[in-house]
Copies of this chain bind each other. A is one copy, B any other.
Amino acid sequence: MKPVDEQLKIIRRGTEEVISVPELKEKLSRKKPLVVKAGFDPSAPDIHLGHTVLLRKMKHFQDLGHEVNFLIGDFTGRIGDPSGRSKTRKQLTEEEVEENAKTYKKQIFKILDRDRTKVVFNSEWCLKLGTEGVFDLSSRYTVARMLERDDFLNRYKKKAPISIMEFLYPLLQGYDSVVMKADVELGGTDQKFNLLVARDLQRSYGLEPQVIITMPILEGLDGVDKMSKSLNNYIGISEPPEEMFGKLMSVSDELMWRYYELLTDVDHRAVKADVESGKAHPKEVKAELAKYIVTEYHGGHKAEKAGKNFEAVFAKKEIPEEIPEFFIEQDKIGIVDLMRETGFAASGSEARRLIAQNAVSIDGEKIRDEKARITPDKKGKILKVGKRKFGRILKA
């Protein structure tokens, strides 16, 4: 195992909060693999990049030699959400939960190491709790402390209903940590309260409390709301490379840096400086990000292809609606001749210079060879020279 400080550096990268660092140091210093836990909702098995913020942190632990547990909260899923607030948490049948678990497994091993990941289901121990177990569990926490949770307190004050069942959920989630003897629990910042409850419960059961690590919540493509399936502002990790690439290219320049930070291990500080000083073009830097992420899920080859495809489509999109049409008599015509005939180049040498500058394209594909020959057709091909000059080349 790596030295504690080195491990700490990797673990802390990109985290929102670690409670507490001294406790984590202490646990790491024992040189034994830590039991790392992260819980996932069984009703939304379509993993998107938002989930990967956590999964990637789990992978870091895994790479450092720790025991990573992917906990599927299937018991929770079987119960459903009584508040009716969350549309994603509907009551699931046993079959649906199983199906969802399979779907999860298909996806997570794109990030996690299959052989070193324990996939566990909390129904295993939750069902065993029984009436007496739930009562015992509920005796270990007070109403007042539960009402300290912002969400609960706000609803209580607003007289919005809170079902008593909602008080049991955090306890059950905490009980997972008790049974698993978790050393570390990872979760989104929105899970902080529940993660803390688990710490208290572990203490109450006479165990050493887990260290909690919260990860920032990834914004969706809109850059405003949390990435989520229900808001349709997400990128699923099983989406085709072209979809993924295109969606990534659609994020704002500002959000791009956030994605760099939370979805890659790239140190992007230098690139960011280049963009700010005008040395690098944001669109290109974004394409780099997209390639990096698509490569993670589809491999380098497909990422490259997706990048090209995007450029082509993107280029097409830039064509103005009204462009001049040029009817060509010949079946084939050299690019230099074409540029002179359309008037996009004043001379053959200017045409050649523009081609050498990568400023010429046909249907979004750059023309790099001055000897390239074009075949005009009835549909028309788009000749683009520089940033602004467009022409539709048609067979006469």
Q: Is A205 interfacial (CB 8 A cutoff)?
A: no
Give the complex CA separation of A133 and B168 in angstroms. 12
Please, which residues of chain B bring their CB within 8 A of the CB of A147?
Answer: 143
Stretch at the interface among A74-82, A349-357, A377-385: A74-82
Contact A144 B159 (CB under 8 A): yes
Please, which residues of chain B bring their CB within 8 A of the CB of A166?
Answer: 143
CB distance from A96 to the nearest CB of B (A): 16
- Identify which of B78, B142, B164 contacts A132 (C-beta below 8 A): B78
Contact A139 B171 (CB under 8 A): no
Q: Which of chain B's residues has its CB closest to A162's CB?
A: B143
Per-residue CB proximity of A121-156 to B under 8 Å, as 1/0?
A: 000001111111111101111111011000010001
CB distance from A131 to the nearest CB of B (A): 5
Query: Known: A131-B75, A131-B127, A132-B78. Is A142-B167 also a contact (CB below 8 A)?
Result: no
Please, which residues of chain B bring their CB within 8 A of the CB of A86?
Answer: none
Contact A165 B144 (CB under 8 A): no
Give the complex CA separation of A146 and B138 in angstroms. 15
CB distance from A386 to the nearest CB of B (A): 65
Please, which residues of chain B bring their CB within 8 A of the CB of A136?
Answer: 79, 165
Please, which residues of chain B bring their CB within 8 A of the CB of A162?
Answer: 142-144
Contact B144 A163 (CB under 8 A): no
Q: Is A206 interfacial (CB 8 A cutoff)?
A: no
Q: Which of chain B's residues has its CB closest to A163's CB?
A: B139
CB distance from A162 to the nearest CB of B (A): 4
Q: Is A320 interfacial (CB 8 A cutoff)?
A: no
Query: Known: A143-B147, A144-B161, A146-B164. Is A132-B138 also a contact (CB below 8 A)?
Result: no
Residues A253-278 near B (CB distance < 8 A): none
Give the complex CA separation of A133 and B78 in angstroms. 12
- Identify which of B75, B127, B142 contacts A164 (C-beta below 8 A): B142
Q: Which of chain B's residues has its CB closest to A169's CB?
A: B135
Residues A14-32 near B (CB distance < 8 A): none
- Identify which of B79, B142, B156 contacts A143 (C-beta below 8 A): B156
Please, which residues of chain B bring their CB within 8 A of the CB of A140?
Answer: 163
CB distance from A257 to the nearest CB of B (A): 41
CB distance from A194 to the nearest CB of B (A): 14
Contact A168 B159 (CB under 8 A): no
- Identify which of B130, B139, B156 contacts A144 (C-beta below 8 A): B156
Contact A168 B164 (CB under 8 A): yes
CB distance from A112 to the nearest CB of B (A): 29
Taking each of A129, A141, A163, which has the highest tally of chain B beta carbons within 10 Å of its own beta carbon? A163
Contact B131 A133 (CB under 8 A): yes
Per-residue CB proximity of A197-237 to B under 8 Å, as 1/0?
A: 00000000000000000000000000000000000000000
CB distance from A53 to the nearest CB of B (A): 30
Give the complex CA separation of A132 and B129 in angstroms. 10
Please, which residues of chain B bring their CB within 8 A of the CB of A135?
Answer: 79, 134, 165, 168
CB distance from A42 to the nearest CB of B (A): 15
- Which A residues contact B (CB, under 8 angstroms)? 75, 78-79, 82, 126-136, 138-144, 146-147, 152, 156, 159, 161-168, 171
Could you give 8 example pairs across A and B, Cβ below 8 Å? A128-B131, A131-B131, A138-B165, A141-B164, A143-B143, A143-B162, A146-B164, A164-B164
